[in-house]
Structure 1
Amino acid sequence: MTTVYGVTRYGGVLQVQRQLLYLDDFPRQHSLKGAMYLVDALFQSINEIFTGASHIQKWFTDIARCVSRGGNPVEWETPLGLRVVQPYHSIMTQTMDTQLQRINFTRATTAPNVMKQTNAFPPNFIHSLDSTHMMLTALYCHKFGIKFSAVHDCYWTHACDVDIMNVICREQFVKLHSQPILEKLASHLKKFLKPAEPHDITNTLQEELLLSLLNNVPTKGDFDLNQVKNSVFFFS
């Protein structure tokens, strides 16, 4: 599950090894090697089965890397118009010596932390869409006089109104994801493209790579979103 959150191979090994240690009939001394083998197989299987999702995740990651290497934090707007800016910046450590002791101070700089910006963008963007879906569901429930409450991705209402909320929830999901979300993201991020300084080869290459990524938005699959409206277990 944590693949979509940018889990690393090392993090995946730790998760799998933890589960292997719970198995009484699995040799504990082989738990690390077993976890490493299983993680490689899992990652390969995920990429083969969920090719479209894996491609989009890589597209997100490559974009975030280009934007942050250019000196900007990654930002975007949700379909509701909410501006989101990732607050991950490089940390500077300063040392001050006193008569009693040495004190270390840390403070954030204006330079983005490239690794954090890159790893966080795919899950943060997806979470922003999930929160948009929640807000749309809440707004339409209010429109129809239905009480609504939520914690993360758990939606509540009175038992007598669950069927109505189920319809609203699915309709808003279909409307949300029928929009050209990736195309709008690419258009928004093009504002980071600016002429590089003369003889600045590194920034020029980053600009060219970012432009190439934004001009090649991943194509949609052939899944019929309207099937969500009749899916019992889509939201249950």
Structure 2
Amino acid sequence: MGTEFMMGAENKFSFAAFCLLMRELDLNPEHKVKLPVFLDATCSGIQHLAAIIKDCELAKEVNLIPRDHLDVPADIYEALRTPINEEIRKTGRENASYPNLEYVNLSRSDVKHPIMTKTYKVTLYGVNEQLKDKFRIGKSKIFKVSSINSGETIILRKPDIMKIAEIINKSIFIKYKGLNFIYNYFIEMAKLKSKLGLPLVWLTASGLLLTQKYYKSKETKISLTLAGKTKKLVIRDMTTSLDPRKQNNSIIPNVIHSLDASHVANIINNTVDNPNDFPIITIHDCFGTHPNYMNKLEEIVKLEFVALYASESFLNKFHDRNLQSIEDYGLKIKKDKLLGQDYVIYKTRSKLYIPNIPKLGNLNINNVLKSKYIIN
């Protein structure tokens, strides 16, 4: 009975460790607990983007700041689930090519991964593959999803799943326009620097200078035959030309990961320098410690997050450093007075416009200290 009960756990080893701990506490209430408790951030990628553009509404949706008088955690995945489902069912009603979508009812679990990874620049193809893995029945080519009619399921075709992926992809930016603005800014800056043949550069809050430069590779295919068997190999040689596609696709996840890394480094430094230091385990945006230190860990996580964004604007520093790298290359930046936008002339003598920094909101970053659910 006990074994059968434990085998039903999602993470069997963690649950077994918990059960053993509870047995020890039952035998000895003074037993020292060494099993770590983990606190996980609410979609840390969006938390960082909300702080960068100082978007209050977006910050509330990921528990970065309190939700006014409501003493309950926000859930961005559930908030987006309703409009996503409405758009999917609308498509099924109005588009004869997708009749199966009229009764689709995606769960929070269905939409969570695509939304979470969108902040790390997951492509439309990537979202499509995530959904196929989610809806696939075993190893078959059959895809099923829940229906609005309780207890029923709907069989999906591959085109249906791609359409759902498109809707999820668009819905995120329709509901949260600030994300669209910051996405466009980073991608347009990446495109500009690629056209100029220059890497992207920025300085993290922890003082690390980063340079993003993905180069194109040249492939040479060869075949080797030994003992009647042929083996094909691909040899890749790196060129000196930047790869625009990789530069564009990588800038957002690299910026967010650099900010996450700065946050983690500062948290660790804070505890090491603290006379009452305590053990911490970190996995990206997840922080673990012993139960007695949970409150202290939460306090440090919030303090260091505020420190990341309390002084100079990360976006302004990112912008200025990349413009400086253009001038260091010997190019002049000029102002188009009619459009109010900077530009640079390169090779073809045509104007290459520099993207403007998105308009920032009025988020008071110090309100992060009042948040109960930034990590939970």
Q: TM-score range by the shorter chain?
A: 0.7 to 0.9
**Code of the aligned partner of 1:143:** D
Tell me if structure 2 keeps the 8 A contact 1:89–1:111: yes
The aligned runs of 1:211-226 (5 Å cut-off) are: 213=355, 216-226=356-366
1:141 aligns with 2:274: no
Letter of the 1:227 counterpart:
N
Equivalent position of 1:132 in the other structure: 262
What is aligned with 2:310? 178
Distance in 1 separating the partners of 2:195 and 2:235: 25
Q: Could you tell me which amino acid in structure 2 is paired with residue 67 of structure 1?
A: K
What's the secondary structure of 1:45's corresponding residue?
A: helix
Which of 211, 230, 233 is the aligned partner of 2:370? 230
Q: Find the aligned partners of 1:79 and 1:230 in 2 and give their Cα distance.
A: 22
State the SS of the aligned residue for 2:353. helix
Contact 2:196 2:346 in 1 (8 A): no
> What are the Cα deviations for residues 51-77 of structure 1, in whole angstroms up to 9, with x where unaligned?
112210111011111112211222221
Deviation (angstroms), 1:94: 4.4
**Cα shift at 1:17:** 3.2
Instruction: Point out which structure has higher relative CO (alpha carbons under 8 A, 6+ apart).
Output: 2
Equivalent of 1:154, from 278, 281, 286? 286
C-alpha change, 1:16 and 1:99, in structure 2 (3 Å) is closer
Does the Cα contact within 8 Å between 2:267 and 2:300 map onto a contact in 1? yes
1:198 Cα shift?
Answer: 9.0
Listed as ranges, the gaps of 5+ residues in structure 2 are 1-115, 136-142, 147-152, 333-343
Paired residue type of 1:187:
D
Identity %: 24
Query: Which is further off, 65-74 or 110-119?
Result: 65-74
User: 1:227/1:72 Cα in 2 relative to 1: closer, same or farther (>3 Å)?
Assistant: same
1:201 aligned onto 2:348: yes
Counterpart of 1:54 (choices 177, 180, 184) is 180
Secondary structure, aligned partner of 1:195: coil
Gaps of 5+ in 1: none
Partner-residue secondary structure (3-state), 2:302: helix
Among 28, 32, 43, the alignment partner of 2:169 is: 43
Q: Check the 8 A contact 2:181/2:358 in 1, yes or no.
A: yes
* Secondary structure at 1:124 match in 2: helix
Q: How far apart in 1 are the matches of 2:305 and 2:345?
A: 47
* Equivalent in 9, 12, 26 of residue 154 of structure 2: 26
Give the drift of 1:44: 2.5
Corresponding pairs, count: 227
Q: Do the aligned residues in 1 keep the contact of 2:216 with 2:241 (CA within 8 Å)?
A: yes
Higher helix residue share: 1
Q: Is the 8 A contact 1:186 1:217 kept in 2?
A: yes
